[in-house]
Structure 1
């Protein structure tokens, strides 16, 4: 999602209280991540995704897999920048895949008994419900809009379709591991859900892990992915203190595995090259009572990143990287 919209006001930058050495488990991923970074650099890649200086106000760099981890994702605040669709670029190579298994289905496997909530950012129909998504909701520390439209590639392929496609792929992978998987929305709602409800779904499911999936809408040349971690917030009805440490662990593991599996580098425009960013202004994180992170998988407005995001084969790798990070976190 882009960094414009209700979830991306521009708070002043601050140093992350989460900065510390990577966990041993994540460190084990460094060789592979470094290899991914080396390949990326060799072909001239210049960035990640996440949120550039034009929309990433208030983010602070966090721990990073030395190979390059993601920086930070956001709630549901991304609005298209208004570029007109181009018929020659940014179109998906494969239509979003629908998982045949119902949300919540689980089998036997190492994750049996574990609950994972996947939050596909935005909704393809949000633009048809301006009054509903502009309605203010309580995000714990203040009030913000219910949701936003999300961004899109320059060819007009919406972020909301990207996030749902990756969510379906991720659900399939996790269910094969035995996890019970719930989606906050599955293309079955006319709009939303609102940011407060997205957090509430994870809380009520007592999720062992929750991940919000997004893609950024930054400027051309801004590339790469980043993971957003919740900061320590204790104000109003928001209290993230209990989930800060486990969420950081979850985010680091996802970041390391995402680098290794996709070969993508961490964001070149937020996170200081770490791929991890801490934020305290996102309702989807501030209202969560379970370990939760956001991942911005790439920048839809950059042609090179868009070529990846619109590739079905790459989206499968993205889902695999996220899945392996979640599995690593849940298995300790």
Structure 2
């Protein structure tokens, strides 16, 4: 309840005995402060400095601030250590984009037989295609380029068996030799399958034990299995794709002894069939650029995990 009006005057606060001296002191200080600012502006101040400009009060304040909580300073970032920034430095990865977009123009060349250790088979094939005619060879080269970029960003030395720079091939035996001669720490051959409609999903093919003629995979069976398991796990996680429903008993892992690219390899190597180009659900993924980027990312992470042990 308050009492105001002509008949009532609220009590007045008592004057402090220090009030007048303080007023005088403040009045005396104001001219001095203005003079000091004038000297600062003439000597070191910025006439038009936006926040953050050198010499401005905002810049001085920002420079003195510690890193924002939860955001490490550059010197504290774990990514700055050589092992984290380039975990694949010194590692060599060979990427083998399956088939070649112009193989179909060189039927006699790709049909000639080459020795794959256990038997003789065609140099190469044209690969499969979607029902709309988009070829596997273009898919594999696109994913290979994306994968190369990701691996090089992690510090790896990357070599492709072909980069659209050959009239055809290379033949399956040469594809293996390219990885061998590069002394690859890991090699991966990228493909898409051409199975029947309703068959969908990815699978990773690993070499079985072969010791016949020029083929001897015994030393690479175990590390190739580790590479295959690593790639399959990360590929599924990153892409959201399911393992093949028609090969591999739901594991996404298949072992074969009839592929020259594996039989003749002396370095850890796997094939990956990223999906079925004759199944509409898989085709929706395979023909999507954003999904192909995920496919490359999944392969990259699998390879990194394998090479880092």
- TM-score of the superposed pair, with normalisation by structure 1: 0.67
Structure 1 unaligned runs (5+)? 1-107
SS at match of 2:265: coil
Q: 1:124 aligns with which of 85, 91, 101?
A: 101
Counterpart in the other structure of 2:132? 155
Counterpart in the other structure of 1:242? 219
Give yes or no for the alignment of 1:202 onto 2:179: yes
SS at match of 2:235: helix
1:192-271 alignment runs, 5 A limit:
192-271=169-248
CA distance in structure 2 between the partners assigned to 1:141 and 1:279 by the alignment: 12
CA distance in structure 2 between the partners assigned to 1:109 and 1:275 by the alignment: 29
Q: Which has the higher helix share?
A: 2
- CA shift digits 1:197-226 (9 cap, x unpaired): 000000000000000000000010000000
Counterpart in the other structure of 1:322? 299
Largest Rg, 1 or 2: 2
CA distance in structure 1 between the partners assigned to 2:198 and 2:261 by the alignment: 28
Counterpart in the other structure of 1:311? 288
Counterpart in the other structure of 1:37? none
CA distance in structure 2 between the partners assigned to 1:151 and 1:112 by the alignment: 35
SS at match of 2:274: strand
Count of residues in Structure 1 that have an aligned counterpart in Structure 2? 225
User: How much does 1:253 deviate?
Assistant: 0.2
User: How much does 1:268 deviate?
Assistant: 0.2
Counterpart in the other structure of 1:172? 149
- CA shift digits 1:5-39 (9 cap, x unpaired): xxxxxxxxxxxxxxxxxxxxxxxxxxxxxxxxxxx
1:267-286 alignment runs, 5 A limit:
267-286=244-263
- CA shift digits 1:29-59 (9 cap, x unpaired): xxxxxxxxxxxxxxxxxxxxxxxxxxxxxxx
CA distance in structure 2 between the partners assigned to 1:194 and 1:299 by the alignment: 23
- CA shift digits 1:247-273 (9 cap, x unpaired): 000000000001100000000001111
Measured on the aligned residues, the alpha-carbon RMSD in Å equals 0.6
Counterpart in the other structure of 2:89? 112
CA distance in structure 1 between the partners assigned to 2:88 and 2:235 by the alignment: 20
SS at match of 1:249: helix
- TM-score of the superposed pair, with normalisation by structure 2: 0.72
User: How much does 1:145 deviate?
Assistant: 0.5
User: How much does 1:151 deviate?
Assistant: 0.2
Which segments of structure 1 move beyond 3 Å, counting only runs of 4 or more?
A: none
Structure 2 unaligned runs (5+)? 1-84
